[in-house]
Every structure is written in C-alpha cells, then in structure tokens.
Amino acid sequence: MLYIGIDLGTSAVKLLLMDEEGSIKNIVSKEYPLFFPHPGWSEQHPEDWYEKSMEGIRELTEGYDRSKVAGISFGGQMHGLVALDDRDEVIRPAILWNDGRTGEETDYLNDVVGKDRLSQYTANIAFAGFTAPKILWMKKNEPENFARMAKIMLPKDYLAYRLSGSFCTDVSDASGMLLMDVKNRCWSREMMDICGIKEEQLPRLYESYEIVGTLKKEVAGELGLSADVKVIAGAGDNAAAAVGTGTVGDGMCNISLGTSGTIFISSRKFGVDEHNALHSFAHADGNYHLMGCMLSAASCNKWWAEDILKTKDYAAEQEAIHALGENNVFYLPYLMGERSPHNDPKARAMFIGMSMDTTRADMTQAVLEGVAFGLRDSLEVARSLGVSIERTKICGGGAKSPLWKKIIANVMDMKVDVIESEEGPALGGAMLAAVGCGEYPDVETIAKKIVKVVDTVEPEPELVEKYEEKYSRFKKIYPTVKCLYR
C-alpha cells in the first residue's frame, strides 16, 4: 500500500509518497506566498494551502497505482489561527505562528490572568505566536470577524476539513493553542471562558494516528483516488518531524534546523519546568514531550546569505570557516522576536564583537553559532529538570550543512545522529497514515522499522571546551541588551 504525508510549511507544502516498507517513492513541493501587511504581522491564505496541496497530490501520485493509496496524514505549521464562518468560508487570512501582533494579549494572559493559572489550565504560558492570544486580538480589533467565527482550526486541520469534511485536530498541534489541558488531553473550559469561545467552535480532538474520516467523493474524483482513502489526524510539524526522525518513546531528542529551530525531547511522563520556558505538549506517539522553540533558525542563515550577501551558495560561504570555537563575533538569532526560553516578541537580532579584522566568514560563522547557542539555551532548561540527553537526531534544511552539524554537536556536547532520510514532517505524516491504516500497531514500532541512523557527528573535547567558554559569554548578551528592545 501507499501512504501520503503532507507537510504544510510556512513557505511551501511538501508532499511525500511512501510504501508500507517505509521506502520513499516520490516527493513534491509547491510554494505559496507569505504576506506581511504590517510590521511584525505574518499571514497566509488557507485557499492557497488547499490548491497547492491538491496540485501536489496529483503530481505526487502521477505514474503510480493510485488505487494503492490507503491513507493521507499531515505535519503542519503550528499555532496559526484559521477562522471559518457558518458557511465554511474563511473569514480572514490565517494569522501565522511567527506573527508578532499579539503583544498586549500575551501580556494580559501572562500578567493579568497569570502564568500560574495558565500553567495549571494548559501546562504552558502565553507566547505571542500561540492561538489563544490571536483569538483575543480578533475579539478586540476585529469584533465583527470574531462574531462570525463558527469554526476555529489550525492550518493542517483546514486541509483535513477540506479533504474529508471532518472538523478535527490532534492533541500535539492543539497543545500549542493555549486552549488545551495538555495533561488530560481535553479542551480547557477555563481557557474557553477567558477567550470568549464555546466548545462547539473548537474541533474534535484525536490522537495523531487516529482516523478522522475518508476523502470526500468529489475530492477523491479530482485526485483520481478512492473515496475509501483514510484521512488520519496528523501532528504539529515538530511532533511529526519527531516521528519522522524516530524521536518517540522515552528520553529521545531531535533538533530541527528549519525556518524555526526546535529542540524536542520525548517522554512517557507529563512534565513542566518551573518557569514554563519550554513548551510541555502532548506527543504524536500518545505520550508527551518538552520542546524549546526559537523563531528564527535556518531563516537566519537564509536572511544573511540571500538578503545581505546576495548569494544562494551556502556551501561556498561556509568553506572559509575553519577556526571553530575561536570566533570573537557573536550573533543573537532573534530576527522575529524569540520564544524559548526568553518569551520576548520585541527581541531582535544583532551582531556584536566586530573589529577591523572581522571577515565575511566570521560573520557567517557567528550566524551558525548564534542559532546553536540559542538552541542550547533551551537544552539547559531541560537539563535543569534532570533530563540527561547524550545524543540527538537532527533534521531540517540547516541539517544539510556538515559544518552546522559539527557546531551543534560541540556547542551541545552531544552526539548528533544523522538519519538516512531527513524528510521530517512529511515522512512523519506518512508514517502516521500507515499506523492509522493498521499497517503498524503503533508509532514506536514503525519508527524502529523505518528510521535508520547512517552517520554520527561526535563532539570533540577540545572544541567542546572552547564552545563552553563562548556560550558563557553568549548567554550574557540578551539579558544585557533586552532593555534596548522596549
């Protein structure tokens, strides 16, 4: 049988076709626009997601026996607010995860409602990118749109709705809305009251591997697929990427170097750190995970190379970098504010430490190291909880750089396992579809079968020591300059 994984990203939708053995048959990517109507705002049109996904599925399955497609599932950009009216029409462009307009609402939730109460209700505190602050923003700034809102959903769930007619979400993606009681895997009545919404406006909750429906007949006809194709709930992009890298079960770690950067630690036990610096979410394997998320990771390198240096030859820019651990230039990777662990939407990127002999390579190196140091900030929070991690998987566009992987291994002092297929959320989505269709009994079983480590980047003691000193300096920069962002 064949399974389709759809990774609904920020810049493109990536579709992957996998057989029951885990062999990847085809991959297709379709881009769509991102809109910034005001400084700090970030929006997309849900119709673009649907049109490009439909186009992509047709292209993905071209030349294959479409009657063998058994299931479709998703990994999707998290936290976005998709609002539909009672006629199922999209009310306004989707407000995305990296949108920073909800500063006042986030402050209200954290300071007036209170972080302790939020943590009690949802296991998390408010971050500007989360969905609940966006709902409060709509309530205040677009009351007419708020009044029309009949269905509230996340980006990938809009696709599931259009494909199957099922108004659904999964527990991993819903964990990032600040509307779900993560520990008990149900909607929080207290948060619904705070946001002024009713439970019927929220989708039904599923585990990531559960079937939510089948393809609508008209959709199946358009795609040339059977109307018996099952649609499986799927997961938030980071949880789906974790499935795709085998970061399931207890005590596993994955670092994602995508547009945003994450450090993801799977656990069978529910847990919350004292200051809620890390997200405490439900996982796609039926358990839980801790996650630190930085808003700009590989996007920092993209910005630096393409917008500033005017090149797309990333490898060439990194060729001149040799003196690891000896760079005197530091870079704060906060192009769009920061989430973990600082929770500061006003934070911005900066270089510090340049001198007359600073080179272009030094600046590029500082960008790569700054992202690694930012991820280490979250790792330190996990370590403060007694979590002991000795190795990590790695995925995302940035993981294609051997140099960046070496920097990560030594900054973190962890072994970095490179897997055979770095397809992240799209592969995770296809794996969840296979579990949902009964091909495998559970997520851990398919992960052990499919995910193969092909290389390991080992930390080097001398380099680890150098980076320890550099990190001790890096972590003093943000507390020193944060007053300048106000």
Catalytic residues: 237
Alpha carbons 372 and 398: distance in angstroms, whole number:
11
Burial class (CB in 10 A: 0-12, 13-18, 19+), 115: middle
Helix, strand or coil, per DSSP, at residue 268: coil
- Please say whether the beta carbons of 43 and 95 come within 8 A: yes
- Please say whether the beta carbons of 414 and 459 come within 8 A: yes
For residue 437, how many C-alpha atoms fall within 13 Å in the half-sphere facing its CB? Answer: 24
* 252 marked as part of a ligand binding site: no
For residue 451, how many C-alpha atoms fall within 13 Å in the half-sphere facing its CB? Answer: 28
Name which of 92, 62, 67, 64 is nearest 80 in CA terms. 92
b/e map of 149-172 (b: 16 or more CB within 10 Å)? bebbbbbbbbbbbbbbbbbbbbbb
CB atoms closer than 10 angstroms to residue 254: 28
- Please say whether the beta carbons of 78 and 97 come within 8 A: yes
- Please say whether the beta carbons of 122 and 179 come within 8 A: yes
Question: What residues pair up with 31 in beta bridges, in sequence order?
Answer: 12
Length of the chain: 486
* 192 marked as part of a ligand binding site: no
What are the percentages of helix, strand and coil residues in the chain, rounded to 5?
A: 40, 25, 35
Known binding residues: 78-79
Which residues sit in the known binding site for substrate? 78-79
